[in-house]
C-alpha cells in the first residue's frame, strides 16, 4: 500500500521544506524528522493508544496475574506479601455452587431476552417503516426517550413500578380476574425478594424497554437502504407481508441482524447496574448474575481480588468467544476497510 502521506502535503508541515538543514529552526527540524521517518500517524495515535493501553490493556494483563495470586486486602495494603497460588482461584470458583447458579442465571437471562429484544425491536422497526411521518416520529421519539433514560434511573423506576407497597403492577394484577392472572395474591406481591425468577422477570421487562429502541432504529435504517422496486415486484408477484419479509427483507438485512444479535448477547451478559439494584446488593445471592457474583467475590467481605480476577477472566473469555463472532461479522460486512 502506498504511503498516502507522500501524496498529501496537507498534513506535512510545509514551511522551511526547501531550505538547507542547519538553517532550520528547531520546530521545523522536528517536523522534518517526523516527515523523514513517517512518524505523523504514530504521533497522532500516541495519546489515544497510551490511554487505551494504560486504562484498558494493562489492567486486563494485571487481572490475569491476580487470578493466579492470593491478592486480597492484606496484599493491597502491603501487610502481607503476594503469593502465587496456581489454579486455586479457578478450582475454588468451579467448586462453588453459587458460581454455577450465577452462570445459569446469566445464560438463561440471555437466552430469553436476546430473542425477545430482537423480535420486538425488528417488529417495531418494520412498523416504523410503514407508518406516516407524524406517527413514526411519535413512536421513535418515545423509543428514544426509553433508550436515553439512564440505566440507574430506569432500574429504580421499575423497582418502584413493581414495588409491593404502592407499586402500580401489583395493584393492576390484583384488579384483574383470577382466570387471567392465576390465583396468586398479587396485592403486595414481592417481585424482588421472592425468587430469582420473579426478579429476572422485572429485569427482563426493564431490559426490553431499554434495548428495543436501538434494535428498532438500526433495523429501520437498514430497511431504508432496501430498494423499493424489490417490494414492488414482490407485491406484483402476490407475495404476502410474511413472504416479503422472509424472501427480501431478512436476506438483505442479515448482516445487520447478525451484528445486532451479537451486540445484544454481549449487552445482556454485561447487565450489572440494573441487577445490582433489583437484587438489592449485597443480598439475594440466588439472584446474582455472573458479573454481580464476580463483583461480590472481588469487593465483598473479605475482598479477594484474586478470586474476582479468576472470575473476570472466565467472564472475559466467554465474551471473547462472542466477540470473535462479532469481529468476523464486521469483517464480512466490510466495516474494516
Partner 1 sequence: MSPARRARAVSRNGIALIIGLVTLFPIFWMVSTAFKPSPEIYSLTPSLLPSHPTLHNFDTVIGGQASGIGPVWMFFRNSLSVTLATVVIASVLSLLASVAVARFRFRLRGSFLIMLLIVQMIPGQALIIALFVDFNKLGLLQNLGGLVIVYAAQALPVSIWMLRNFVATVPRELEEAAAIDGASAPRIFWRVLFPLVMPGLVATSIFSFITAYNEFIVALTFLGQDHSLYTLPIYVTYFFGRGGAQWGPIMAASTLYTVPVLIFFMIVRRRLVGGLVAGAVKG
List binders of partner 1 among 236-255 (CB under 8 A). Answer: none
Q: Which is nearer to partner 1, 111 or 148 (CB)?
A: 148
| DSSP H or E stretch at residue 146 | helix 133-148
Is residue 322 within 8 A of residue 266, CB to CB? The reply is yes
End-to-end CA gap in the chain: 13
Q: How far is the CB of 260 from partner 1 (least distance, A)?
A: 9
- 221: contact with partner 1 by CB under 8 A: yes
Report which DSSP code applies to 10: G
Task: Spell out where the chain has E strands.
Answer: none
- 151: contact with partner 1 by CB under 8 A: yes
- Of residues 105-144, which lie at the interface with partner 1 (CB under 8 A)? 124, 127-128, 130-132, 135-136, 138-139, 141-144
Q: Which is nearer to partner 1, 58 or 94 (CB)?
A: 58
Q: Which is nearer to partner 1, 189 or 267 (CB)?
A: 267
- Of residues 155-214, which lie at the interface with partner 1 (CB under 8 A)? 156-161, 163, 165-166, 168, 171, 209, 211, 213-214
Residue 284 φ/ψ region, left for φ over 0, alpha for ψ in the -120 to 50 degree band, beta for the rest: left
Please compute, for residue 276, the number of CA atoms within 13 A of its CA located in the half-sphere on the CB side.
13
- Of residues 21-40, which lie at the interface with partner 1 (CB under 8 A)? 38, 40
* # binding residues, partner 1 (CB under 8 A): 109
Q: Which is nearer to partner 1, 134 or 178 (CB)?
A: 134
Bridge-partner residues for 84, per DSSP?
69
- 150: contact with partner 1 by CB under 8 A: yes
Q: How far is the CB of 200 from partner 1 (least distance, A)?
A: 18
- 68: contact with partner 1 by CB under 8 A: no
Q: How far is the CB of 27 from partner 1 (least distance, A)?
A: 11
- Is the peptide bond prior to 272 cis by the omega test (within 30 degrees of 0)? no
Report which DSSP code applies to 300: S
Candidate list 17, 30, 49, 233; residue touching partner 1; CB under 8 A: 49
Candidate list 17, 19, 33, 57; residue touching partner 1; CB under 8 A: 57
Candidate list 98, 112, 147, 189; residue touching partner 1; CB under 8 A: 147
Candidate list 41, 115, 240, 251; residue touching partner 1; CB under 8 A: 41
Q: Which is nearer to partner 1, 42 or 179 (CB)?
A: 42
Closest CA to 171 of 280, 206, 160: 160
Spatial neighbors of 295 by CB under 8 A, at least 6 apart, are 272, 276, 281, 308
Print burial letters for 214-253: b (CB count within 10 Å at least 16), e (below 16). Answer: bbbbbbbebbeeeeeeebeebeeeebeeeebbeebbeeeb
Is residue 89 within 8 A of residue 314, CB to CB? The reply is no
Amino acid at each position: 500500500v502506498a504511503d498516502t502521506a507522500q501524496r498529501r502535503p496537507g498534513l506535512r508541515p510545509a514551511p522551511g521544506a526547501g531550505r538547507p538543514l542547519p538553517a532550520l529552526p528547531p520546530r521545523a527540524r522536528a517536523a522534518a524528522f517526523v516527515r523523514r521517518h513517517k512518524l505523523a500517524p504514530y504521533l497522532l495515535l500516541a495519546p489515544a493508544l497510551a490511554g487505551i493501553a494504560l486504562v484498558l490493556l494493562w489492567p486486563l494483563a494485571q487481572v490475569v496475574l491476580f487470578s493466579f495470586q492470593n491478592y486480597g486486602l492484606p496484599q493491597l495494603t502491603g501487610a502481607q506479601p503476594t503469593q502465587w497460588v496456581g489454579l486455586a482461584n479457578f478450582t475454588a470458583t468451579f467448586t462453588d455452587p453459587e458460581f454455577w447458579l450465577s452462570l445459569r442465571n446469566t445464560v438463561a437471562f440471555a437466552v430469553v431476552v436476546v430473542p425477545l429484544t430482537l423480535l420486538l425491536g425488528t417488529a417495531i422497526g418494520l412498523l416504523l417503516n410503514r407508518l406516516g411521518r407524524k406517527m413514526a416520529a411519535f413512536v421513535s421519539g418515545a423509543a428514544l426517550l426509553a433508550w436515553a433514560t439512564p440505566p440507574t434511573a430506569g432500574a429504580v423506576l421499575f423497582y418502584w413500578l413493581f414495588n409491593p407497597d404502592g407499586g402500580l403492577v401489583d395493584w393492576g394484577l390484583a384488579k384483574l380476574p383470577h382466570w387471567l392472572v392465576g390465583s396468586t395474591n398479587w396485592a403486595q406481591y414481592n417481585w424482588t425478594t421472592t425468587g430469582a425468577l420473579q426478579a429476572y422477570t422485572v429485569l427482563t421487562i426493564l431490559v426490553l424497554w431499554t434495548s428495543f429502541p436501538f434494535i428498532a432504529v438500526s433495523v429501520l435504517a437498514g430497511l431504508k437502504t432496501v430498494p423499493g422496486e424489490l417490494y414492488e415486484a414482490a407485491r406484483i408477484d402476490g407475495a404476502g407481508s410474511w413472504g416479503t419479509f422472509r424472501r427480501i427483507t431478512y436476506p438483505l438485512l442479515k448482516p445487520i441482524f447478525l451484528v445486532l444479535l451479537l451486540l445484544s448477547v454481549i449487552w445482556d451478559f454485561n447487565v450489572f447496574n440494573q441487577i445490582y439494584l433489583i437484587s438489592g446488593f449485597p443480598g439475594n445471592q440466588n439472584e446474582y448474575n455472573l458479573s454481580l457474583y464476580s463483583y461480590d467475590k472481588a469487593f465483598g467481605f473479605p475482598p479477594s481480588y484474586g478470586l474476582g480476577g479468576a472470575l473476570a477472566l472466565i467472564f472475559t473469555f466467554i465474551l471473547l468467544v462472542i466477540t470473535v463472532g462479532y469481529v468476523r461479522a464486521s469483517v464480512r460486512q466490510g466495516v474494516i476497510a
